[in-house]
Chains A and B, each alone.
Chain A
Amino acid sequence: MEQFLQQVASGLANGAIYACVALALVMIYVSTDHINFAQGEMAMFSTYISWQLMSWGLSFWFAFILAVVLSFILGVVIERVILRPLHNAPVLSIVVVFIGLLAIFNSVAGAIWSYLIKEYPSPFPKSSFGIAGVIGPHQLGVVLVTLIVLGLLFAFFRYTPLGLAMRAAAQNPQMARLVGVRVDWMLALGWGLAASVGAVAGIMVAHIVYLDPNMMAGILLYAFAGALVGGIGNPGGAVLGGFIVGVLENMVAFAGNQIEKATGIYIIGNGEKLTVALIIVIFVLTVRPAGIFGRVVVKRV
């Protein structure tokens, strides 16, 4: 039982990371209809920035905030400088640009900071945090931080005029222009926010997976699965989908271990976790392309 709870808890912690990256993917998807394949590498790069800031002597949280802000600026710049000129380009060109960005970030990070795996600190106190035997201090911290970030984002989109303008621009760009919204800038802001949320995910997960230029590759896949589960056009669904995928992958591995213990037959275990994500992707795309929470918009004419 305790083992089960532990698995759920660590699933939630992983899920929180996937939820953030999934949300970043969805934020760009709803306004441009593109999946940013470089989202994970951008998050990795942000994590290196925070590591660099810490190695220059900044405290964890100060480096965290600065890295998130710098990521925001980086996201805005990428949209304005690289994607803006491709405004009317065919989808394939944009996909190639995303893959190019992925490769560039990966190799630039490797060139600056080397491909050697680095340890990354956890900001959460070892004792007096977490619930003994169920959830560790870092896992609990990750869940809390991501929930705060997601809550802030929700409040921003729901209650501020700028958030409303961004939603309007994503939903109906032409009409948004007709009420005076500067749609181009809303897209750039969306990129900035996505990069920031990705940075949070990267910084939170680095203590678990260690810091290296390929740290986000698997996570992007899980996040993509999460976004699909929730319905790729639905931010709230993507967050929930991220958590579901996080818990599900642990549950599958846990069930596999239990079966092996009881019968001695190895069917599935920790090694096949990534396969679970891929199966989810294929399953959702074939059976329910709109995702579990994919809303069918009701329209009366």
Chain B
Amino acid sequence: MAALLEVKGLKAFYGQTQSLYDVGFEIETGGITTLLGANGAGKTTTLRAICNMVRCEGVIRFDGKDMTKLPTEEIVRQRIAHVPEGRGTFTTLTVDENLRIAAYTRRDKAGVARELERVFAYFPRLKERVQQQAGTLSGGEQQMLAIARALMLGPRLMLLDEPSFGLAPLIVVEIFRILRRINEEEKVSILLVEQNAALALDLADHAYVLETGHVVMSGPSSVVKNDENIRKSYLGY
């Protein structure tokens, strides 16, 4: 089966500084893949490169289609949902508006209404706060809102940038449980970037390890998880 997302020889630059040198990986349709690595390894940059939010060179193919020439807005229209670092909440809009803006690119009203129901089934907490200004939500709720907003796009691929960041352990467990359900029930493929390697390896079926802009190793999660050397050298636990 062809890969849903194929990345080859990816280089990325911030001004004069090169931050990715040679990143390549594949995501299977329906799979959960995780990018691991230390701070500054290039995990977030890789996600940003996929959405063309940073200057980059190389091959990025989604469903066989070249993505590198498209602007961010068009890549999103291919139904790639990006949940960015820091959650990207529209703080002055209400929860309801945050969700509706995510369906901005969709023209099927009935589908959007159904999606909203499904989203509230995953995140009942958001339904209680639907008219509240999104900036007043707690960190965990804002992370839920960010994932819910990604779902409203009706995505085929979800890019998640550190969904556990700054959250209490219990909330993290809840969010990761929901992510697994979304993957299984909505058939959404997931590319997950995480600092918390143990957590990510539990969820993902495939893992790539980045170091200073290179992929240094990859393999099925179970293999990576049980490899003492990798754990000690790259994952720090």
Chain A residues engaging chain B, CB cutoff 8 angstroms: 161, 164-165, 167-168, 171-172, 174-183, 297-301
Contacts and interface: CB of A to CB of B under 8 A. Distances in A.
A178 B51 CA distance: 8
Contacts of B89: 172, 175
A61 B73 CA distance: 39
Given A168-B90, A179-B149, A299 B101 contact: no
Contacts of B92: 167, 171, 297
A300 B135 CA distance: 7
Nearest to B98: A168
Interface stretch (B136-144, B190-198, B202-210, B222-230): B136-144
Interface string B67-86: 00001110011000110100
Please classify the interface of chain A as helix (H, G, I), strand (E, B), loop, or mixed, using the class held by over half of its residues.
Answer: helix
A180 B136 CA distance: 24
A301 B86 CA distance: 10
B139 A174 contact: no
5 contacts: A174-B53, A178-B76, A179-B76, A297-B92, A300-B139
Contact of A180 (B77, B90, B138): B77
Given A180-B76, A181-B73, A299-B136, A165 B82 contact: no
Interface of B: 51, 53, 71-73, 76-77, 81-82, 84, 88-93, 97, 100-102, 104-105, 133, 135-139, 149, 153, 166
B63 to A, nearest CB: 17
A167 B90 CA distance: 9
Contacts of A174: 53, 84, 88
Q: Which residue of A168, A174, A175 has the most chain B CB atoms within 10 A of its CB atom?
A: A175
A167 B93 contact: yes
Closest 9 A/B residue pairs (Cβ) = A175-B88, A180-B105, A180-B76, A177-B72, A168-B101, A179-B102, A178-B82, A299-B135, A182-B73
B17 to A, nearest CB: 17
Contacts of A167: 90, 92-93, 97
A179 B105 CA distance: 8
Contact of B97 (A164, A176, A181, A297): A164
B93 A178 contact: no
Contacts of B97: 164, 167-168
Nearest to A170: B92
B84 A175 contact: yes
